[in-house]
């Protein structure tokens, strides 16, 4: 499925971009927004909601979740179309009872099945929604929402700051315009009463918010060498028994530390949140468990370097799994300076670096 339009949100104000979406929704009943983390899909999607909107949905897994906005008249039509009757384990005498699945239900469940569970990718999801809608002569429009690279990282670093406000705006508009939604949280904030879709709160210390709030503190790396960063990870691990880590970007046989050093909280690990905040990933598709389901928003190879946080082996199964699913290198260093890596030459290289006088 080809992208119909690309919107660079760095070139517009939030209200200007929201107005563009309102115009597109007036023209096309279903908008499917894809794009990198920090592009602004959820933010402008919420800003664009008005009396013409019938539903807004979002994927839930740790990636750049697509946002689907459906016009009110299309929602009404989709809810009237029965696409399947599923048998229930309930009988009225000898007669088995059935539940009716509408086209609207099918679109909503496809988000969970295709994107959240099977991780088949944003394009596969867009194609499925377009197929369901197209069978009933409802058009869709695939819009890629992007921003300038510096702006993307800035937004990801600061996205927790206005999360409560954005989520509060969403539930207020839901009630005002009678809009259907499956959004339960925005990075840094969540709906506490999910039955009545009311009350906004923060994530607790033992929950992953996918923001810098997951970190106990952030240490700038400016002026530090790679060796000094490794030694700092060892020190934090030894003295505080906390996990810490940073990212290295490998490109054209050169390497650059591309994040701050982050120190995890007592109940959190740093790896995937580091990737989400400083790099950003999009779900490119595959089958659950297959290599490189996610694609970084940069050219080159990303390496996660973090301190050891328990277990018999330096590299945990989670480290191995992350390397495969994200297509990255994962390197782990113990408090005593022992190193292991999913890329063996990297292990030897960094071990030699540490052993140098």
CB neighbours of 268 closer than 8 A, spacing ≥ 6? 206, 208, 214, 215
pLDDT of the residue at 57: 96
The residue assigned the tokens 């990737």 is 275
pLDDT of the residue at 292: 66
pLDDT of the residue at 286: 58
**Domain extent listing, the chain:** 5-201, 212-355
In whole angstroms, give the CA distance from residue 213 to residue 211: 5
Helices in 135-180 by DSSP H: which ranges? 149-158, 163-177
pLDDT in tens, the chain (357 residues): 899 999 999 999 999 999 999 999 999 999 999 999 999 999 999 999 999 999 999 988 766 889 999 999 999 999 999 999 989 889 988 888 999 999 999 999 999 888 887 888 899 999 999 999 999 999 999 999 999 999 999 999 898 889 999 999 999 999 999 999 999 998 889 999 999 999 999 887 677 777 888 889 999 999 999 999 999 999 999 999 899 999 999 999 899 999 999 999 776 768 888 988 999 888 887 555 455 688 888 899 999 999 987 778 899 999 998 898 888 999 999 999 999 999 999 999 999 999 887
pLDDT of the residue at 310: 74
pTM of the model: 0.90
CB neighbours of 197 closer than 8 A, spacing ≥ 6? 171, 174, 175, 181, 191
pLDDT of the residue at 289: 47
CB of 86 within 8 A of CB of 53?
no
DSSP one-letter code for 291 = T
In whole angstroms, give the CA distance from residue 12 to residue 9: 5
pLDDT of the residue at 77: 97
Token representation of residue 327: 């297509």
């Amino acid at each position: 499925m080809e992208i119909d339009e690309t919107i660079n949100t760095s070139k517009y104000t939030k209200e200007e971009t929201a107005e563009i979406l309102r115009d597109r929704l007036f023209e096309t009943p279903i908008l499917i927004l894809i794009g990198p983390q920090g592009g602004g899909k959820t933010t402008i999607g919420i800003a664009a909601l008005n009396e013409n909107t019938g539903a807004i949905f979002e994927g839930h897994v740790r990636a750049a979740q697509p946002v689907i906005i459906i016009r009110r008249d299309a929602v009404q039509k989709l809810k009237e179309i029965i696409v399947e009757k599923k048998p229930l384990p309930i009988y009225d005498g000898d007669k088995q009872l059935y539940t009716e699945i509408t086209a609207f239900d099918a679109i909503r469940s496809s988000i969970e099945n295709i994107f959240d569970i099977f991780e088949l990718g944003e394009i596969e999801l867009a194609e499925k929604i377009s197929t369901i809608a197209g069978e009933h002569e409802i058009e869709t429009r695939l819009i890629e929402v992007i921003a300038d690279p510096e702006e993307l990282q800035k937004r990801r670093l600061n996205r927790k700051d206005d999360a409560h406000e954005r989520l509060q705006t969403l539930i207020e508009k839901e009630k005002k315009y009678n809009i259907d939604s499956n959004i339960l949280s925005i990075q840094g904030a969540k709906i506490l009463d999910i039955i009545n879709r009311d009350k906004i709160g923060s994530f607790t210390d033992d929950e992953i918010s996918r923001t810098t709030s997951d970190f106990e503190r952030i240490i700038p790396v400016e002026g530090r060498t790679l060796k000094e960063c490794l030694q700092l990870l060892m020190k934090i691990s030894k003295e505080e028994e906390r996990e810490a880590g940073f990212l290295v970007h490998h490109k054209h046989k050169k390497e650059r530390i591309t994040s701050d050093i982050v120190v995890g909280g007592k109940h959190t690990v740093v790896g995937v949140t580091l990737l989400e905040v400083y790099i950003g990933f999009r779900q490119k598709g595959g089958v659950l468990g297959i290599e490189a389901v996610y694609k970084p928003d940069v050219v080159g190879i990303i390496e996660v370097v973090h301190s050891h946080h328990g277990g018999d082996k330096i590299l945990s199964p989670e480290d191995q799994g992350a390397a495969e699913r994200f297509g990255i290198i994962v390197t782990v260093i113990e408090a005593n300076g022992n190193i292991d890596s999913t890329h063996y030459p990297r292990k030897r290289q960094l071990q030699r670096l540490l052993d140098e006088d």
